[in-house]
Structure 1
Amino acid sequence: MATAGEDERTEELETLQSIYPELVIDAPFAAHIDLPVAPTVPLPVSFEPIQEVHRIAYLPPLRLHLALPADYPAEAPPKVKLSTSLSWLPPDTVEKLEKEAHALWEEYSGGQVLFAYVSYLQEAAETAFGLSELTLLDSVQNELLQYSKRMKRELFDKETFDCEVCLEPKKGSVCYRMERCNHVFCVQCLQDYLNNCIEEGDVNNVKCMSTDCGKTMPNGKKKERLLSPKELLRIPLPLQAVERYAKIKRKKKIEADPTIIYCPRSWCQGAMRTDKYPKIKDVREMDDSDSEPEEPVEPPSDKQPTVSGLEKRMVGVAGMDRLAVCEDCTLAFCKVCLASWHGDFVRCEPRDKNQLTEEDQASLNYIMRNTSPCPTCSVPCQKSYGCNHMTCFQCKSHFCYLCGAWLPPENPYGHFSNPRNKGCFNRLMDLVEGDMGEGEVQFGGARGAEQMADFWEQEAMRIQNELNAQDS
């Protein structure tokens, strides 16, 4: 027949198991339980000998072994033993936590303390047991990081979130949490939005979709970080789409940099090699630093030291490197005269920047005649359909497609209802089918001037042809 002490110990263990179903009773008066360790603030952990610091949110659980002696609880405290896999918890911290069981038993004056002790350990785990940082051997790094990543995903999968786009409650298993800002969206909404941005070449909008995201700058504008190729692949997006994103992003940076010289071969036109914009090899290895929004590149200063005479013709001798190598066809050429590389001590003159090839001139003529420039950034825009209130794809400025005037974002349509704007009054829906959908339409602004110049050029040619016909 069980004694009163045995009944009391059995009852306490069974009560504890009802509160913590994960408690395993190993013997009549012995048990163990694994307590999760998820600090409220991720714990900085460095690994010797490299000393690289990682902030770890989930650490391997703390295993508590309990043994209740015959004279517990009246005459003796419970026997406890703490351990962790990978031995990440320092021995002195383990010893301090074990001694707390005896201190609690004394505080309770010989009462039952198992629940109080487990609660104490759980609270201590939230602060990483008082540790401000941790240094471990490099041999446990991979296992520790993989464990934290796995636990984070498992707990996330079990939660329910309201997608900030479709506003429907979704299980974490079909959602994705943004790495920088922690906003949560369902994977389907993320994929639809990001794939569409990349397909249309709108790479500056490959970012978190939350309106609250981004750092507000002193000028009132928000600076938002673009998503890295690595994160896009984790969402996941197709590898082909991520490669397109990275290539377009790099191309935009290169085109905006006035210091980049292009290959003089007409069939190549590749950019020069530069460490500033390294050629993309594998997007799976591209980190955040490769995908930040591009900052405006300052053009070469007009206050550069001047050279003349022999010095001007010997550019490169005094430390100014003229050698460039095409990243596509590997042609070595001179940055100054664009001829094949001739060495540092050969005289050469800069190529006339106003001199255009026949192909370049034809392209420029088409752009001038068939596009309307943005009044803010001058990027050429061509409308395929819709009204004449345009939003620049590049800088998001609002402008009129007919006359090129800047429009106030708060009331862009007032421009078309104001009788003073004679060229655009009541013409909001002109060219509703796009430039190619309707016949000749009179434009204003820079495009209108080009249109008039073209008209008078054609008129002069017509008159000249008539005169020539009369003379003959």
Structure 2
Amino acid sequence: MASLNPDDERAEELNTLQSIYPELAIEHTNPFTAHIDLLVAPTIPLPGIFEPEHVVSRLAYLPAIHLDIALPAEYPANAPPLVNVSTTPSWLPSATADSLAKEAHSLWEEYGGAQMLFAYISYLQEAAETAFGLSEITLPSGLQAELESYSKRMKRELFDKETFDCGVCLEPKKGTVCYRMERCNHVFCVACLQDYYNNCIQEGDVNNVKCMSTECGETRGSKKNARLISPKELLQIPLALETVERYAKIKRKKKIEADPHIIYCPRSWCQGAMRTDKYPKITNVREMDESDSETDEPVKSATDEPLQADGPEKRRVGTKGMDRLALCEDCNLAFCTVCLASWHGDFVSCQPRDTSQLTEEDQASLNYIMRNTSPCPTCSVPCQKSYGCNHMTCFQCKTHFCYLCGAWLNPDNPYEHFNNKKNKACFQRLMDMAEGDMAEGNVQFGGARGAEQMAAFWEEEAMRIQMELDAQHS
């Protein structure tokens, strides 16, 4: 086996290179021949166009550049190094590979016959960061799966080797027990993510299933709502499949309930929502990779029909023909969205059904809600306090409000309301009912709940007086 002559300049340069790049391999049979693989991780992922389907995939990592080096006897004084640049599989355009190889000769001339291999390798590494000046690469579709798999594998391998400070527990953790958020690249340990997201989903607080970094959503000093995490990404963290399915179903249910254009099945035992392409039924959460903003508004329908208040629900008016036909997504009943009867055909005239009369059970539920909850001043969701002070934050829309009078509170200083003498009904009553609504049911309220409370009082008083008069006449 041949060995390097320590007095040879070529041997000195290769020894130095190997101490800098331990991965540099020197051929045993030819001590002046070496090769090295260089990582290709563009700062901006390189778009790969796979033909003939013209599928575009953004590749964060590409198979390494393989550099073969051969040093002739005249090197470095009188001859440049012989180099060859290649990749496996062959994704790098041949013209680009030839240009990279020619750069070795240019550097040798620039260095005036001095040792220049370190400068050349550094040049290749810097060029790899910009994807060698390529804006995109066009490849046969047969390479798509291989390149995507390589990019994903390299991303995970390099991430696992790093150490990160978890953004929640602030402890240093190896990448093997951490997760990098796909959209914003913030890093948290898996244990913290699982604890937080599992708790949010269990409590139904799906609007907080988003990146936990306080910096998320900040753009040039302004604060925007961070986007919700997609079901597909939650499975990658990973969360249990049944937990992610619950998340997707609750999120869909909230969207449907917030959309006034959705009509529900008239069958009392069903009450399923009408079928709509806007909110398709969930079939496989593993394929759901959309991320929705916390404040997504329901998309208006194409016809944007006017709405008519009709009892506790809103009905569309002015619809014609098949526009009135709806299918229940649960029981498949075909019904009319105007009169709520089973589908009667295009040419039957109908009127909105009178739904103002509630059942005895529904009326009892409504009475309980009116008497034992305080509505949010923004979204009107009924809230009941189980313990603590009267500064409330709406679970649905995050509005700050007073539980006693229903007034909106300034989020920056919510307690000013309870310290202001002008607010006579709430002054110094921050801790009233600290044990909860049901523990102290005799507290005087203000606002809408106070009016309901007074109405109930006078109704009971009238009944008492009537009973006394009836007793006197009997």
Q: TM-score with structure 2 length normalisation?
A: 0.90
Letter in 2 for 1:405: A
Q: 1:106 to 1:145 in 2, by over 3 A?
A: same
Q: Which residue does the alignment assign to 2:313?
A: none
Q: Which residue does the alignment assign to 2:140?
A: 137
Q: Decide which moves more: 206-215 or 285-294.
A: 285-294
**C-alpha distance in structure 1 between counterparts of 2:307 and 2:425, whole Å:** 48
The residue matched to 2:323 in structure 1 has which SS?
coil
Q: Following TM superposition, by how much is the alpha carbon of 1:136 offset from its aligned partner in structure 2, in angstroms?
A: 0.8
Q: Deviations over 1:241-275 (max 9, x none)?
A: 21111111111111111111001111111111111
Letter in 2 for 1:62: I
- Does structure 1 residue 70 correspond to structure 2 residue 73? yes
Q: Which residue does the alignment assign to 2:26?
A: 25
Q: Which residue does the alignment assign to 1:191?
A: 194
Q: Which residue does the alignment assign to 2:245?
A: 243
**C-alpha distance in structure 2 between counterparts of 1:89 and 1:417, whole Å:** 70
Matches within 5 A, 1:90-109: 90-109=93-112
**C-alpha distance in structure 1 between counterparts of 2:178 and 2:232, whole Å:** 17
Q: Deviations over 1:297-356 (max 9, x none)?
A: 5699999599xxxxxxxx889545111111111111111111111111223221124333
- Does structure 1 residue 59 correspond to structure 2 residue 62? yes
The residue matched to 1:117 in structure 2 has which SS?
helix
Letter in 1 for 2:58: R
Letter in 1 for 2:407: A
Number of aligned residues: 463
Q: 1:116 to 1:416 in 2, by over 3 A?
A: closer
The residue matched to 1:223 in structure 2 has which SS?
coil
**C-alpha distance in structure 2 between counterparts of 1:190 and 1:333, whole Å:** 44
Q: Decide which moves more: 409-418 or 264-273.
A: 409-418
Conserved 8 A contact 2:177-2:189: yes
Conserved 8 A contact 1:259-1:300: no
Structure 1 vs Structure 2 CA RMSD: 2.7
Letter in 2 for 1:380: P
Q: Which residue does the alignment assign to 2:457?
A: 455
The residue matched to 1:447 in structure 2 has which SS?
helix
The residue matched to 1:85 in structure 2 has which SS?
coil
Q: Which residue does the alignment assign to 1:401?
A: 403
The residue matched to 1:81 in structure 2 has which SS?
strand
Q: Which residue does the alignment assign to 1:264?
A: 266
Q: Following TM superposition, by how much is the alpha carbon of 1:296 offset from its aligned partner in structure 2, in angstroms?
A: 4.9
- Does structure 1 residue 356 correspond to structure 2 residue 358? yes
Q: Which residue does the alignment assign to 2:324?
A: 322
Q: Deviations over 1:187-233 (max 9, x none)?
A: 22222222222122111111111111115599x65232111111111
Q: 1:184 to 1:146 in 2, by over 3 A?
A: same
Matches within 5 A, 1:376-391: 376-391=378-393
Unaligned runs of 5+ in 1: 307-314
Q: Which residue does the alignment assign to 2:113?
A: 110
Quick one: percent identity of the two aligned structures? 76
Q: Which residue does the alignment assign to 1:13?
A: 14
**C-alpha distance in structure 1 between counterparts of 2:447 and 2:294, whole Å:** 35
Letter in 2 for 1:208: C
Letter in 1 for 2:263: I
- Does structure 1 residue 165 correspond to structure 2 residue 165? no
Q: 1:130 to 1:299 in 2, by over 3 A?
A: closer
Matches within 5 A, 1:166-245: 166-214=169-217, 222-245=224-247
Q: Decide which moves more: 461-470 or 271-280.
A: 461-470
Letter in 2 for 1:342: H
**C-alpha distance in structure 2 between counterparts of 1:67 and 1:444, whole Å:** 88
Letter in 1 for 2:15: E
